[in-house]
Amino acid sequence: MKVESEEGLKRRDFLANVVLAAAGLLALGGFAARFFAFLYPDVPPEKTLEVPVIARDQIPPNGGVVVNLPVGHVAILDVNGEVRAFSAVCTHLGCLITWQPTADHVWYCPCHKGKYDREGHVVSGPPPRPLTRYPVAVRDGRVYVTLKVRQPMESA
């Protein structure tokens, strides 16, 4: 039976500690890289697009309709012949709003009973801010809405 010297044990312990420290640093570096990628993601630039949304005659007089587009959900409203467009996403928790053809003519969020008026302002409920309003153009019987979108980045 061979008896190891104290120097041999110290050397073995030192090498084990070096290997453990290197593995720990690599793990910490990987975690830090993921953490900073989460904090500072690669975000594609915003682009402004004018999107054809709906035919003008499909909007009921003094009424509203929600249109689902590939670039988002848009609420279109006719107010005495004037066409208005808003984001159809409730500012509370992101549910889709619907038009309520009642006496007060409001956009209604069925999730938590939030209500918005014809200007997109909060009337009642928990929504913290008004609906986002979009620029609108009516040409050749079609309604066009100008939206800001982020197109997915191409993978390398």
Closest CA to 99 of 83, 81, 117: 117
Could you tell me the pTM of the whole model?
Answer: 0.67
SS3 assignment, position 21: helix
Higher per-residue confidence, 21 vs 11: 21
Give residue-wise pLDDT tens across range 69-106.
888 889 998 888 888 899 888 888 888 888 887 777 68
CA distance 143 to 57: 10
> Which uninterrupted H or E stretch holds 33?
helix 6-39
SS3 assignment, position 122: strand
Closest CA to 46 of 148, 155, 156: 148
Report whether pLDDT(3) > 60. Answer: no
Asked if 53 and 42 touch (Cβ cutoff 8 Å), the reply is no
